[in-house]
């Protein structure tokens, strides 16, 4: 009898202890189902959309299958949700500007970027030469080509190789994977990037490039050709959502302060001259690339990435921007959307 009472009370204690755990598990499952269903819904509604066109000023990008469509979400506690073509590799293009900026702020401080490049948006197209000329190389923003080439020139290291290794390692740490360069895309852009070379030369004439201008442009072109898939980009975005610490590896890639500066520049200039409209509707720091990738960050919660090559007139992935907008609305994840007390 004594033994039976003892056993029964033990069972009672165990079940009481397990109770909150079960509730937490149920809530977690519900939250997981909510995220996956938001992704599936956006994917199904947008997969047949035929709007926009692949970038073709870099010839290799015009060859990429326009129907690729992949969505990935990675939470700050390392959960991964995906749908569609998430293993397809593509060139990161302008999204690399985010991680190179993070590197420079981390190593040289926020003031360096503010004074030597500028952080206000130019309000002009990402490859505008006029933007450089108007302000004599000042206030050119790290997320348009002139500011991005200047930012790349500021990466620590006295040689091409040293700077490049530093950039690649940073991208690897954000992605928690060893990334490689898409050689055909790099060669294709290096052969046709006279416009970016001119931008770097013009910046140089105003003393606003901080390493050899031709080599800085080449390192920048190589960083834009780093191959990623949608899942990699979502992990990179999740690292930004998690204050600069990679949720999969647990390692600190950049400090929370650096991370905050990077998110701010993403909010004001991530989607080029459509950044204002984007923030107005979605409320999130984001960044797109002409390879068809786009990321957005819900600070403290999750990172989201989409790969879909056809672009709008500004150079943003059409399906990508629409899918993220829809998913953020469904999940009510706009940080400016506040439920009153």
Q: Which residue number, 97 or 103, has a Cβ lying nearer to ligand GLN?
A: 97
189, 218, 232, 273: which one contacts ligand GLN (CB under 6 A)? Answer: 189
x/- track of binding to ligand GLN for residues 265-294 (CB under 6 A): ------------------------xx----
Nearest by Cα to 140 from 155, 128, 153, 152: 128
Report angle CA 292, 164, 228 to the nearest 5 degrees: 25
For ligand GLN, give the closer residue by CB, 72 or 200.
200
Segment 82 to 101, residues that bind ligand GLN, using CB under 6 A: 93-94
Binding mask of the shown chain, residues 144 to 183, with x at each position contacting ligand GLN by CB under 6 A: -x--------------------------------------
Look up tokens 């199904």; give the residue.
Answer: 44
Q: Does 213 bind ligand GLN (CB under 6 A)?
A: no
* Cα–Cα distance list, 217 to 96, 153, 200, 209, 254 (Å): 14, 8, 7, 10, 24
Around 191, how many Cα atoms within 13 Å sit in the side-chain half-sphere? 9
Over the window 108 to 147, marking each residue x when it contacts ligand GLN by CB under 6 A and - when it does not, the resulting string is ------------------xx-----------------x--
Nearer to ligand GLN, 189 or 218 (CB): 189
Count of alpha carbons within 13 angstroms of residue 95, beta-carbon side: 37
Among 147, 315, 317, 322, binds ligand GLN (CB under 6 A): 315
Q: How would you classify the pairing of strands 302-307 and 293-298? A: antiparallel
| Closest C-alpha to 227, from 271, 184, 285, 163 | 184
Dmax over CA atoms of the chain, in Å, equals: 93
For ligand GLN, which is the closer residue by CB, 82 or 316?
316
Residues that bind ligand GLN (CB under 6 A): 93-94, 126-127, 145, 189, 196, 224, 289-290, 315
């Amino acid at each position: 009898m004594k033994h039976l009472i003892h056993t029964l009370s033990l069972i009672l204690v165990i079940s009481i202890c397990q109770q909150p755990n079960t509730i937490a598990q149920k809530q977690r499952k519900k939250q997981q189902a909510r995220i996956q269903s938001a992704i599936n819904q956006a994917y199904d509604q947008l997969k047949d959309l035929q709007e926009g066109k692949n970038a073709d000023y870099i010839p290799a990008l015009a060859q990429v299958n326009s129907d690729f469509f992949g969505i990935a979400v990675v939470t700050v506690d390392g959960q991964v949700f995906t749908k569609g073509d998430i293993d397809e590799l593509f060139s990161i293009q302008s999204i690399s500007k985010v991680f190179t900026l993070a590197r420079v702020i981390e190593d040289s401080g926020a003031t360096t970027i503010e004074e030597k490049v500028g952080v206000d948006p130019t309000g002009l197209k990402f490859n505008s030469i006029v933007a450089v000329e108007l302000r004599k190389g000042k206030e050119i923003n790290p997320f348009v080509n002139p500011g991005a080439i200047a930012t790349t020139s500021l990466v620590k290291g006295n040689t091409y190789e040293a700077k490049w290794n530093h950039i690649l390692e940073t991208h690897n740490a954000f992605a928690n994977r060893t990334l490689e360069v898409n050689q055909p895309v790099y060669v294709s852009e290096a052969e046709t990037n006279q416009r970016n070379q001119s931008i770097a030369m013009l910046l140089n004439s105003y003393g606003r490039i901080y390493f050899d201008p031709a080599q800085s442009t080449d390192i920048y072109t190589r960083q834009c050709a780093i191959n990623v898939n949608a899942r990699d980009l979502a992990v990179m975005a999740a690292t930004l959502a998690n204050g600069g610490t990679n949720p999969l590896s647990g390692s600190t890639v950049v400090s929370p302060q650096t991370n905050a500066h990077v998110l701010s520049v993403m909010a004001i200039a991530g989607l080029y001259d459509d950044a204002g409209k984007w923030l107005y509707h979605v409320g999130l720091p984001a960044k797109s690339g002409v390879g068809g990738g786009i990321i957005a960050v819900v600070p403290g919660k999750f990172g989201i990435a989409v790969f879909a090559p056809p672009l709008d007139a500004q150079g943003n992935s059409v399906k990508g921007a629409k899918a993220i907008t829809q998913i953020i609305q469904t999940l009510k994840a706009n940080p400016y959307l506040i439920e009153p007390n």
